[in-house]
Structure 1
Amino acid sequence: MTEEDWRLPIINYLQYPTLSSEKRIRIMALNYLLWNGDLVRKSKDELLLRCLGKEEYMKVMGEVHEGIYGAHQGGRKMCWLIRRYGYFWPTKGCEACQRHGPIQQAPLVPMNPVIKLWPFRGWTMDLIGKIYPASSK
């Protein structure tokens, strides 16, 4: 692990919880544990995902991106594939694709009312806090 490794503060806290550490690290460490010397993250579906350093991640990302595990189908799909194979990295997507890929923007769409088939089929409520400055009405 290098000095700039994102895993290092979490590993230090898990190994030595009595030492002082940032509150952010203590909260983040709730999702991690040390398993046979490796940092693993507990996923939402209770699987343990091995946390990767930058070099390991670049190797895994290269394998997924270049088609060893399948074709590159976008950032979300690649993130899903990497997690499916039991690995975790805190950022999403391929750095090269983020740098050189097109900027994706959703087209402007006018707002349309939602029409319900039956009266009282759906209920909505708009809540608003205190208005600054105070309105005359």
Structure 2
Amino acid sequence: MIAPVGVASCWIDPIKTHLETGWLPDDAQEARKLSVRALRYSLIEGLLYKRSFVILYLKCLRPLEVEEALKEAHEGICGKHLGGRALAHKITRCQRHAPIVRQPPERLTSINTPIPFAMWGMDILGPFDVV
């Protein structure tokens, strides 16, 4: 796995190499992680893009490119006329996020009675006076 000349290696390189040549690490566990992770990415004209549900493709940036993109978003043509919310939305597209855990923190337990509140009663109005 060789990084391009003059560019430090980062997380993009193994995924890009795998998509270009099918390369996998020697460690079986790391190879499986890389192949599963690479399924979320596409290589288009030599550039790595992450597939997204909301936006079609998100361009993967190296650390130096991220600094330049954030600088352009804050001080460049984008930062002068965008409001706070729109600028924040543009910047979050540049960030890399961890996957969302959709499992509950504890094991789910079932309720023993099918209608849990059927055994309880409430007297809201009190006793009625019979005349």
The answer for the alignment partner of 2:69 in structure 1 is 60
The answer for the alignment partner of 2:36 in structure 1 is 27
> TM-score scaled by structure 2?
0.53
Please identify, of 42-51 and 28-37, the stretch whose mean Cα deviation from structure 2 is larger.
42-51
| Larger RCO (alpha carbons 8 Å, 6+ apart) | 1
Unmatched runs of 5 consecutive residues or more in structure 1: 93-125, 130-137
The answer for the alignment partner of 1:4 in structure 2 is 9
User: How many residues get paired?
Assistant: 91
The answer for the alignment partner of 1:73 in structure 2 is 84
The answer for the alignment partner of 2:126 in structure 1 is none
Whether 2:19 is the aligned partner of 1:14: answer yes
| Fraction of identical pairs, as percent | 29
> TM-score scaled by structure 1?
0.51
Q: Which runs of 4+ in 1 moved over 4 A?
A: none
Whether 2:72 is the aligned partner of 1:50: answer no
Q: Helix, strand or coil for the counterpart of 1:4?
A: coil
Unmatched runs of 5 consecutive residues or more in structure 2: 99-106, 111-131
For 1:45 and 1:28, how far apart are their aligned partners in 2? Answer: 19
Larger radius of gyration: 2
Superposition deviation, residue 91 in structure 1? 5.0
